[in-house]
Amino acid sequence: MTHTAHTTKIITGMVAALAWILLAPAAQAVPVTFSKLTGLSGGSPAETAIFKADLSSVGFPVAAISIRDNSGGLGGAVGQFSGFDLDAIKLSTTDCPDAACAAAAAGLPLFDFVSGLVFAPGTQRPPVDPKLFGTGVGGTTVDNGVATLALFDGNSTTAIPGADGFVSMGDNGVLSFNLTSLLDPVGVFLYIGEVGDNGEVAASNIDVRRNPVPEPVTLALFGLGLVGVGLSRRRN
């Protein structure tokens, strides 16, 4: 095999691997159906609506959960509070009939709210703030010290200070949670909370995934590697 042919084979393999990384999580993901529980939870006053999904029929071990805002610019607030306001997310074996039960139910210890999150912030509705509420420096990560995503404790207000206990995803934002270990979904329920119960929608755009969601920086570095190999090939 010539050097050129060998290099071409390497590039082809790398492109195929990148395609698998990009497409496999989507191809091996299924949407889940939510029902809204009665009552409200959250901070004071209690204004968080909680939604429940039974994961028993998923059909494969779950490695990640992704939430996509699909509010279409409707409902909720503007600026840093745009899009779906996520109070908390919980996996539990307790089948709850109402919001109070879901907030108190024991959760499975499968979330890492610091290094296990992959966040693609959505857009803000004017007037635009420097970053979405509950996000870290630069607005591309979640500040869990503010968001407290393990607790249904969101204070539904746009007053600063005052707002606390949630993260705003922005219109069409995507927030993914890579679990710390694979989850057998049989007998497990997924709960999420919408702060304010004010018409923003995410529950119909949530899926569970067989594969972890890759970090954007990982994909960027992989792409740079492909470019580097291509440049090396042209020089040779």
- The pLDDT of residue 3: 54
Predicted structure pTM score:
0.82
- Altogether, the residues listed in the chain come to a count of 236
- The pLDDT of residue 235: 54
Candidates 62, 214, 80; CA nearest to 143 is: 80
Output the tens digit of pLDDT for each of the chain's 236 residues: 565 555 555 544 454 444 444 444 444 899 999 999 999 999 989 999 999 999 999 999 999 999 999 888 778 899 999 999 999 999 999 999 999 999 999 999 999 999 999 999 999 999 999 999 999 999 999 999 999 999 999 999 999 999 999 999 999 999 999 999 999 999 999 999 999 998 777 766 799 999 999 987 544 444 555 555 554 555 55
How far apart are the C-alpha atoms of 120 and 69, rounded to whole Å?
11
